[in-house]
Each structure stands twice: as C-alpha cells, then as structure tokens.
Chain A
C-alpha cells in the first residue's frame, strides 16, 4: 500500500507571497492532519480535515488555511509568507474519527524556505 505523498518536496518563496502544499493520504484513510516542524518549536499541529470539513485547529494565525477534497486529498495554503514560516510541513493521514484518529502516518514533508 502506498504511503502518504506530499508535493512539492522543496519550495523557495519570497516574503509576502503565498504558497499551496498538497497531500495525498494512504488509500482508505479519510482524515488528514497538517503539522509544522521547526528546530525551535518542534512539531506543532496546524489542523485536521475529515469529510471535507475542518474538525480541529491548532494555534496558528489565519494566514494558514487548508481544505480537503471528496477523494480525501488535502491542500494547505499559507498567505503573506513571513520569514518565520520557513519550516518542514508534514501531512499525516489516519482512518478517521474514533480510536484510530491518533494513529497517524506521515508523509515525507514539504520543506519551505522563505527568503
């Protein structure tokens, strides 16, 4: 079974621009969560989507948004990029609500560099 895939793997953007990252979950998984990983803060939860609805949200500004499509694929968007948004953005998939929600499998991540 194929794992979680994320595109692109690397991205370089300029301050003020916006960026869209894509995630395809494991086949059969219907929940997608996004995390930001930085050396200083570690892994931090951004948001989770299930059935095209955001079910859970972390403590990030409104510049960070996401969506999920009917095939469970998800995108996250960051608008008005800041230097501090440079990070590894990780997508994780799980079966969905219930006990399986926390059994999450991660993709390889998208490394975003903001200059």
Chain B
C-alpha cells in the first residue's frame, strides 16, 4: 500500500463548479499537509499548508484535514479555467530532521471548461 493515495483523475468540470480533490494516507506520523498546483512544464506552486485537523480557507480554496480518518481534501469554489492544472497533495512527519521529506500523491489533472 502506498503511503499517500490520490484519486487518479483526470477530472473535468464546468466553470463555476465546486471541485473536491482528495487524498488518503496510511502513515500516522504525517502531521504537515500541503496542496500544490502544477501547471504544465512548471514547478509545483504551494497553495495550502496546514498542520492541524480542521479547515483552512484562503480565497476560493479550502483545505480540510481529518487525521482520525487519515483523509485530506482541497475544495475549490467557483472554479475558473485558470484553475486547470495538476493538483498534488503532499505530507511530512513531525519529528525534527525528517519533516523536510515530503511524500506526494501522484497528482490529479483538473480541467475547467469555460
């Protein structure tokens, strides 16, 4: 079983839709959770960074972490064609010296149709 599983996609939605992207994980040592957006031929861009369980909102984006279920989600409200990209979840453990190693999901490609 992979440490981080992400829905493989691809996902296509109409403009204005609410998008839900999900990852599950098996390693209970993971304490930091991130979502990255990667446009074609670019490096990943950090969208959301969370530590605790619960919700974190930033504009149209909401990150949700449920440590008891080992499940994280990213919600995109009022999706725009410019949101079309690959979305990667990433996680790292807490203990000093090792929390620099990010473990990524495989990524899901989102397409928002005008």
Interface residues of A (CB under 8 A from B): 4, 6, 31, 33, 35, 42-45, 48, 50, 55-56, 58, 90, 92, 94, 97-99, 101-109, 111
Give residues 22-69 of B contacting A (CB, 8 Å).
32, 34, 36, 41-46, 49, 51
Are B44 and A58 interface neighbours, CB within 8 A?
no
- Indicate if B76 sits at the interface (CB-CB under 8 A): no
Jot down 21 A-B pairs with beta carbons below 8 A, ordered by A.
Answer: A33-B102, A42-B105, A42-B106, A45-B101, A48-B100, A55-B100, A56-B97, A56-B100, A97-B100, A99-B99, A101-B99, A101-B100, A102-B34, A102-B92, A102-B102, A104-B46, A104-B100, A104-B102, A105-B46, A106-B45, A109-B42
Which among A94, A98, A106 is the interface contact of B96 at CB below 8 angstroms? A98
Highest count of chain A CB atoms <10 Å: which of B42, B43, B44, B99: B43
Main secondary structure of the interface of A (DSSP, over half): strand
- B100: chain A residues within 8 A (beta carbon): 31, 33, 48, 50, 55-56, 94, 97, 101-102, 104
Are B102 and A99 interface neighbours, CB within 8 A?
no
Are B97 and A106 interface neighbours, CB within 8 A?
no
- A48: chain B residues within 8 A (beta carbon): 100-101
Which among A101, A102, A106, A111 is the interface contact of B36 at CB below 8 angstroms? A106
Give residues 59-114 of B contacting A (CB, 8 Å).
88, 90, 92, 96-107
Nearest chain-B residue to A98 (Cβ)?
Answer: B96
A58 to B51, CA, bound (A): 23
Which among B32, B96, B101 is the interface contact of A97 at CB below 8 angstroms? B96
A97 to B96, CA, bound (A): 7
